[in-house]
């Protein structure tokens, strides 16, 4: 799994039938403090993440074993990256390296 920041949405005018419906996000892998690391990737959103959120992304064939959005059956679907959680806080060795903002980018509203 990777820590990533949602940096945008990805919209396709045509998609394979099995991939029609879910939301695709552009996510930037980061360090545990939220600093960019590597190249952005496209991931299916299973948790209604928003732009600016720090998220947990699962990659590879293991994505098919994770509960996915209702409109995406991952059993026989080609999904390489799946957003599986929104991060509120990272505590590393007793030191908080990331805490979600109360307002602005990365702020969460609702469930």
pLDDT in tens, 41-73: 999 998 999 999 999 999 987 776 665 555 555
Q: pTM for the complete prediction?
A: 0.78
Q: DSSP for the chain, please give it.
A: -EEEEEEEEE--SS--GGGSSS-EEEEEEB-TTS-B-S--EEEEESS---TT-EEEEEESGGGGGS---TT---TT----EEEEEE-SEEEETTEEEEE--SSSTT-----
Q: Which domains does the chain have, with CATH numbers?
A: 2-99 (2.40.50.220)
Overall average pLDDT of the 28-44 stretch: 93
The predicted pLDDT at position 34 comes to: 82
Give the span between the Cα atoms of 47 and 26, in whole angstroms.
Answer: 14
């Amino acid at each position: 799994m990777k820590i990533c920041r949602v940096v945008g949405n990805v919209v396709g005018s045509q998609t394979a039938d099995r991939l029609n419906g879910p939301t695709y996000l552009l996510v930037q892998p980061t360090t545990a403090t939220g600093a960019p690391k590597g190249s952005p990737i496209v991931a299916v959103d299973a948790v209604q993440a928003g732009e600016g959120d720090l998220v947990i992304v699962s990659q590879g064939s293991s994505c098919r074993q994770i509960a996915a959005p209702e409109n995406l059956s991952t059993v026989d679907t080609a999904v390489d990256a799946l957003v599986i959680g929104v991060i509120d806080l990272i505590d590393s060795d007793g030191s908080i390296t990331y805490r979600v903002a109360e307002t602005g980018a990365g702020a969460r509203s609702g469930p």
